């Protein structure tokens, strides 16, 4: 079972010290429950590991696509984190939460003109320019608005991390970034340097997600620092910031064995230091952008079991009152989860079932999982749902999205309320 979860003296599943079934009883199901203290601890682990293993300046930014709502930005801001935003909607939410615009890093392979305008008008700290079209669009926009832009360049170091192909974005065949190997990255640096309006601070890469091994990070760090040195040699320009993105793996099921935050950060930091030292290159500001590893294990989703349908000799479907509308990750890329009974998480797993969602299509949450005997009304907790569940949720079948209930210091409060039918028709004209 996922590390942040414990059981109480009565054997029930606890999250943040409170019984999941009590929280479900109070707020209804389905409900996302997020343990704020677990998020704070994960942020602290990144900050501590960076301070311990990187002798230069370092900072972490929360990749807010993993879990995005107003309160979460306040939590990470309190931890001293910056934030990665991937749209002006995320930037807007972060600013509304009170984040300093200087602390926002704006990503995206196809930022719209209005995204770029929004970033400039709101003095977003870094726009991470992804391609040549964006370089010229942003340059022209700056000229029209009489502004300058602080930019970094998204580079593709062409590292093939072992992860699902839909989230493996660092290979050469990627929609993201200027490839170093093709010469595009150096050409992009020269283009940026030739502009009076674009202020180039550094380079960025993100090699994929849910990566368990250290090698991909080592390769990426080495390639990126080597590129910074090459830029210095060939253009005389010193890039001062290196952002290595996120991608650190978490534990969804017993089969996942993440190395832990300290170890993962150490690998990246030590490789940067070693490569920079070998090349006699000054240590850059090192940034990391973890998303999943900050929030995934801090969250669970509690559902109520509805129908149980047995097809003898074929399969048993246990249907719950949520599904791909609140967690589309099985539908998107066959993501695997573990689940336990809220009132008896250690009950013997006597039966192979498929946990089906309530939505149409072949809506599935967990295919072929061993679970205890389940009956209508039981509370089933799907574990490790803090990342890319709420943030990817939809109103498919016009099912209102569940609330996000935070647990902190033994108290609960609603950070995002449950949607109502009025919410569903709010934009309908």
Ligand X SMILES: Cc1ncc(COP(=O)(O)O)c(C=O)c1O
Residues catalogued as catalytic: 360
Choose, by CB under 6 A, the member of 291, 299, 357, 403 that binds ligand X: 291
**Cβ closest to ligand X, residue 211 vs residue 371:** 211
If binding means CB under 6 A, how many residues of this protein chain bind ligand X? 16
Stretch that binds ligand X, among 10-18, 27-35, 285-293, 393-401 (CB under 6 A): 285-293
Per CB under 6 A, which region of 6-14, 59-67, 180-188, 193-201 contacts ligand X? 59-67
Nearest to 71 by CA among 403, 324, 314: 403
Select the residue interacting with ligand X from 90, 289, 363, 378 (CB under 6 A): 289
Q: Which of 16, 157, 202, 246 binds ligand X (CB under 6 A)?
A: 246
Tell me the per-residue interface mask from 91 to 110 with ligand X, x by CB under 6 A, - otherwise.
Answer: ----------------x---
Instruction: Give whichever of 293 and 359 is closer to ligand X, judged by the CB atom.
Output: 293
Q: Contact between 326 and ligand X (CB under 6 A)?
A: no
Does residue 290 interact with ligand X by CB under 6 A?
A: yes
Distance of CA 357 to CAs 187, 290, 306, 322, 397, Å?
49, 29, 10, 5, 12
Q: Which of 414, 400, 388 is nearest to 210 (CA)?
A: 388
Q: Two tokens at 416?
A: 């995002």
Which residue's structure tokens are 């006597």? 350
β-sheet with 5-7: strand ranges across: 5-7, 13-15, 18-19
DSSP 8-class letter at 248: B
Report the residue number whose CB is nearest to ligand X: 246
Task: Please give the Cα distance from 291 to 305 (Å, whole number).
Answer: 30
Chosen residue from 13, 39, 63, 382 binding ligand X by CB under 6 A: 63
Which span (60-68, 275-283, 312-320, 350-358) binds ligand X, by CB under 6 A? 60-68
Helix, coil or strand: residue 39: helix
Select the span of 58-66, 69-77, 109-117, 271-279 touching ligand X (CB under 6 A).
Answer: 58-66
First to last CA, the chain: 47
Residue from 32, 54, 227, 248 touching ligand X (CB under 6 A): that is 248
Residues near 302 by beta carbon (within 8 Å), at least 6 away in sequence: 20, 21, 23, 24, 29, 30, 31, 33, 342, 379, 380, 381
Residue 357 found at the interface with ligand X (CB under 6 A):
no
Strand partners, 62: 83
Binding residue for ligand X, selected from 64, 77, 222, 293, defined by CB under 6 A? 293
Helix spans in 122-174 (H): 132-145
Binding residues (CB under 6 A) for ligand X: these are 63, 65-66, 84, 107, 206, 209, 245-248, 289-293
């Amino acid at each position: 079972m996922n590390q942040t979860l414990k059981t109480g003296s009565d054997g029930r599943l606890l999250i943040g010290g409170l019984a999941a079934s009590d929280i479900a009883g109070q707020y209804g199901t389905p409900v996302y429950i997020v343990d704020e203290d677990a998020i704070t601890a994960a942020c602290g682990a990144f900050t501590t590991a960076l301070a311990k293993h990187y002798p230069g300046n370092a900072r972490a930014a929360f990749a807010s696509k993993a879990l995005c709502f107003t309160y979460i930005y306040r939590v990470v801001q309190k931890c001293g984190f910056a934030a990665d935003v991937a749209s002006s909607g995320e930037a807007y939410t972060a600013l509304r939460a009170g984040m300093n615009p200087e602390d926002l890093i704006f990503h995206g392979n196809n930022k719209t003109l209005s995204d770029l305008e929004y970033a400039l008008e709101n003095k977003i700290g870094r726009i991470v320019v992804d391609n040549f079209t964006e370089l010229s669009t942003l340059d022209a926009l700056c000229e029209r608005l009489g502004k300058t832009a602080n930019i970094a360049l998204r580079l593709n170091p062409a590292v093939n991390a072992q992860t699902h192909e839909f989230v493996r974005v660092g290979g050469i065949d990627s929609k993201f970034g200027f490839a170093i190997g093709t010469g595009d990255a150096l050409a992009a640096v020269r283009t940026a340097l030739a502009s009076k309006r674009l202020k180039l601070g550094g380079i960025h890469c993100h090699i994929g997600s849910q990566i368990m091994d250290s090698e991909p990070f080592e390769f990426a760090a080495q390639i990126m620092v080597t590129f910074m040195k090459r830029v210095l040699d060939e253009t005389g320009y010193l890039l001062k910031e290196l952002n290595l993105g996120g991608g650190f793996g978490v534990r969804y099921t017993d089969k996942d064995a993440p190395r832990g935050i300290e170890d993962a950060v150490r690998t990246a930091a030590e490789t940067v230091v070693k490569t920079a030292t070998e090349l006699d290159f000054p240590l850059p500001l090192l940034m990391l952008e973890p998303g999943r590893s900050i929030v995934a294990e801090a969250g669970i989703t509690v559902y109520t079991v509805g129908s149980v349908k047995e097809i003898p000799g074929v399969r048993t479907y246990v249907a719950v009152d949520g599904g791909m509308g609140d967690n589309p990750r099985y539908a998107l890329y066959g993501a695997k989860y573990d689940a336990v009974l809220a009132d008896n998480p250690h009950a013997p797993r006597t039966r192979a079932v498929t946990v089906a969602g309530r939505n149409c299509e072949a809506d599935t949450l967990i295919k072929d999982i061993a679970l205890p005997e389940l009956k209508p009304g039981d509370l089933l907790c799907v574990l490790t749902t803090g990342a890319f569940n709420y943030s990817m949720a939809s109103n498919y079948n016009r099912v209102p999205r569940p609330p996000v209930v935070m647990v902190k210091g033994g108290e609960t409060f609603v950070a995002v309320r449950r949607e109502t039918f009025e919410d569903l028709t709010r934009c309908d004209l």
